Structure 1
Amino acid sequence: MESISQPPVTRGFGLASAGAWTGSSRRDRLRGLLPPLIAWLVSNLITWLIAAHSVAGDGSRVAYWSTAGRRRWDSEHYLSIAKTGYEMFRCRDRYPDFPDVTCGNVAWFPGYPMAVRAVSSTGLSYEISAVFVTEASLLGMFAVLWYLLGARLTWATGLTLAIGVVFPGGVYFHAMFPIATGTLALLVCTAGVKRGSWGMAAAGGFLAAACHLVGAVAVGMLLLSALFAWRRDARGVRIAKAVGSAAIAGCGVLWAKWLMWQATGRWDAYEAIQESSYQQSGVRQPFDEMRHAYAFPFSEWYRPQGHLPWLVEHSLSAHRTQLWLNGAFFLLVVATAVVLLIRNRRLGADEWAALILTVAIFLLPFFAGAEMSWYRNHAQMFVGLVLVKHMSRWVQVPLLVCCSVQYALLASMFFAGVLV
């Protein structure tokens, strides 16, 4: 009799336990989403407060919650790609008084504008769709970073997430630019390497390369991944996964060039406009480029007229302290990796990926020439936060303070209309 009645009791107990476990697991997962969500909300709050104190010279305030507050220079090109696609033409054909150079929007990659176009198909305006893609990407950035940090709240991971909220150049994570989308793609690529997911790594690399030329650094990282990732596979399989994922990531650049060729009939449309209009071709001398970037006279070229509030007045040359801070962050990430290698004699696959990407992102603008845009390209070093969690609190706290001050200065420079 006991043998007959016992199983139902056991089954009932098992079902109750499974239900309790499922409910607890669901609550844990929801609780795990709170840190990245809070980070995203705080990031918007801080940026809104800075924008509110960035009064233009004519006394007008910046409407952070409007689309106009998120648009700067290149934003117009990304929106034009989303609306009508690519075009390239001789400037004087449309503007008789313009210098005889090449005009158009083929100097900008299609990943972000195509995402904007897809969202706009819901009926939203292109401008609102652009802000939606940007903010959704930023929320995704915090979520993937949180996963890479272990999704467990400690002093180390909490401070790392806080640094991410005020990351150098992070004001462009809120603007109509592909910086947030491209950074999310790099983080997804890194997560794919960590998980041993060849498809995820390849997809992240493709989107990163399709969003911005800087994102093409994922191709090199994936090629090198044969040396530090895919450890469960045989050597030949590891090489195949590394080469295959790098090839797919490289197709992001090929897709961009194909779209440009379809619209202009020229495979070299990107290179042509870069050389003609922006004098960017070939490999530059990196130290000369750093010097030019540091000395660029933003405050003289785009200084707002009239009275300027204290924050704006003291931020007109914030790109100079930005370069120092970016250099310090780059060196700290490299030093942390060296310490981990000496102490543990190894790095995790995601840590190798983050190290390679951080080094490449920091150096690329100075080899390619990015005198007026390196500060927003460097924002994609956000992926280096994977290694920041290993830093001592004595390093993390001063880094957080420095990043907070610099974020306020550069964001004020952005909202005052000084940055491009």
Structure 2
Amino acid sequence: MADLLAEGRRRLLSPAVAWLIANLVTWLVAKASVAGDGSKVAYWSTGGRRRWDSEHYLSIAKTGYEMFRCRERYPDFRDVMCGNVAWFPGYPMAVRAISSTGFSFEISAVLVTEASLFGMFAVLWWLLGSRLTWSTGLTLAIGAVFPGGVYFHAMFPVAAGTLALLVCIAGVKRGSWAIAGAGGFVATSCYPVGAVAVGMLLLSAFFAWQGDTWPVRCAKAMSSAALAGCGMLWARWLMWQATDRWNAYEVIQRASYGQGDVRQPFDEMVKSYAIPFSDWYRPKGHLPWLVEHALAAHRVQLWLNGAFVLLVLATAAVLLVRNRRLDVAEWAALILTVAVFFLPFVAGAEMSWYRNHAQMFVGLVLVGRMSRWVQVPLLACCSAQYALLGAMFFSGVLV
């Protein structure tokens, strides 16, 4: 038993250090994002983690879904539908479960987020082989400052959804369609972008379950994908139960955000590149240096995210040429990374693509196979962009 405990501590040490560093770096960015007394940013309080959409997730956790005409409560608002049915239930239901132990909903939301982030590092570490080398150490360091990763600390389902995608990869790697499907279920119930898990699991028949016959491989792929898809069905069922409308999600998306239809992704990329984050909200008065220089960081963010996808694709291509194969986890991570990059643009998520893209964290499975000559510059670029995006988050620019 003592040996097992010692082995467990050894395996969790590196993920724990990465989690602590991620929090330390984010705290320092928060302090630098406020003019004068940096203590005004209460990073260690719930207020520092709470932004616009956080209110919707908290309302779902507290009272469930609702949908109403805006003018019924806000007479000066335009006559469209309002409510919280544009947000998925996986994260709020986890918050509700934790709050049943006596914690406030706000504290519970932070606990779910930070536990999910620690879980992300732990599962990634297992996928990397649980052995500390220059390559795996640099990969964890990149994960601590991953582009958009400030949302891994916020009252948002980004960390929970990313952890679920990593569990999905781990399930495929272990040959367990139940674990893979369960991870996919949580991913699709947390965030719309989690639907990429369904596609990856369907394709897993071509690269996973190698010890089975083709009929069995197809059955496992379809079973895990079906289980993953049930997460989205569960979300829709909860919305229907509360509003008596099967299309409540689409109604809110179209009325409030002009979304809900399929877009041309490259046109949406151009549009996203042209719209600064500061167009949504710009704080009044004097801005700290870091915030002032971060207001156009959407362009750097898009370039960096695109470069990350290309690096992942290039690494996969090199491994295929050199080894004539990819590991099961590498195939899964490759498919998910590319899909997560494109899906927000297909859906027209111009207000949220940067936090959706944070779930490309799963691509770190392949970053661990990159040369140090690639990893070190990538770490430097991610660190600089993390500071810029974090500054905008804590100054209130990002929603």
What range is the shorter-chain TM-score in?
Answer: over 0.9
How far residue 416 of structure 1 moved from its aligned partner, in angstroms, is 0.5
- Segments of structure 2 that go 5 or more residues without pairing to the other structure are none
1:120 aligns with 2:99: yes
* Cα distance in 1 between the residues matched to 2:184 and 2:290: 38
Compared CA separation, residues 114 and 304, structure 1 to 2 (3 A): same
> Which whole-Å deviations, capped at 9, do the CAs of 1:194-234 have from their partners, x for residues lacking one?
01011110100000000000001000000000000011111
Is the Cα–Cα contact under 8 Å of residues 46 and 106 in structure 2 kept in the other structure? yes
Match of 1:290 in 2: 269
Tell me if structure 2 keeps the 8 A contact 1:296–1:372: no
Q: 2:243 aligns with which of 242, 264, 275?
A: 264
- In the alignment, is residue 87 of structure 1 matched against residue 66 of structure 2? yes
Of 248, 267, 290 in structure 1, the residue corresponding to residue 227 of structure 2 is: 248
SS at match of 1:103: strand
Correspondence 1:104 to 2:83 = yes
2: CA distance, partners of 1:156 / 1:333: 15
Structure 1: 5+ residue stretches without partners: 1-21
Using the alignment, how far apart are the partners of 1:371 and 1:91 within structure 2?
Answer: 23
Runs of 4+ in 1 over 3 A off after TM superposition: 22-26, 56-60
SS in 2 for 1:367: helix
- The percentage of aligned residue pairs carrying the same residue is 77
Match of 2:292 among 290, 306, 313: 313
Counterpart mapping for 1:158-197 below 5 A: 158-197=137-176
Determine the C-alpha separation between the residues in 1 that align with 2:252 and 2:78: 13
| Deviation per residue, 1:374-420 (Å, 9 max, x gap) | 00000000000000011111100000000000001100010000011
CA distance in 2, matches of 1:157, 1:376: 24
> Aligned to 2:397, what secondary structure does the other structure show?
coil
Distance 2:5 2:47 in 1: 40
Q: Is the 8 A contact 2:278 2:397 kept in 1?
A: yes
Letter in 1 for 2:337: T
Contact residue 276 and residue 298 of structure 2 kept, 8 A = no
Partner of 1:381: 360
Q: TM-score, normalised by structure 2?
A: 0.98
Distance 2:94 2:370 in 1: 36
Tell whether the 8 Å contact from 2:32 to 2:38 is kept in structure 1 after alignment.
no
Q: Is the 8 A contact 1:58 1:307 kept in 2?
A: no
Distance 1:416 1:26 in 2: 43
User: 1:10 — aligned with what?
Assistant: none
Query: 1: distance between equivalents of 2:318 and 2:38?
Result: 50
Q: Do the aligned residues in 1 keep the contact of 2:309 with 2:338 (CA within 8 Å)?
A: yes
Offset at 1:28? 3.0
Amino acid at match of 2:378: L
How far the C-alpha of 1:30 sits from its partner, in A, is 1.4
- Give the 5 Å matches for 1:17-166: 23-55=2-34, 61-166=40-145
Q: CA RMSD in A?
A: 1.4
- The answer for the alignment partner of 1:8 in structure 2 is none
1:58 and 1:306 in contact (8 A); partners too: no
The number of aligned residues is 399
1:199 correspondence with 2:165: no
C-alpha separation in 1, matches of 2:119 and 2:398: 26
The aligned residue for residue 220 of structure 1 is 199
Greater Rg over alpha carbons, structure: 1
Contact 2:236 2:246 (C-alpha < 8 Å) held by counterparts: yes
Amino acid at match of 2:292: E
Change (3 A) 1:59 1:355: closer
Give, in whole Å, the separation in 2 of the partners of 1:377 and 1:33: 27
What is the letter of the counterpart of residue 238 of structure 2? L
Q: Is the 8 A contact 1:57 1:304 kept in 2?
A: no
Q: Which amino acid aligns with 1:387?
A: L
Q: Secondary structure at the match of 2:82?
A: strand
User: d(CA) in 2 for partners of 1:90 and 1:391?
Assistant: 52
Separation (CA, whole Å) in 2 of partners of 1:312 and 1:306: 12
1:238 counterpart = 2:187: no
Rounded Cα–Cα distance in structure 2 between residues aligned with 1:105 and 1:416: 25
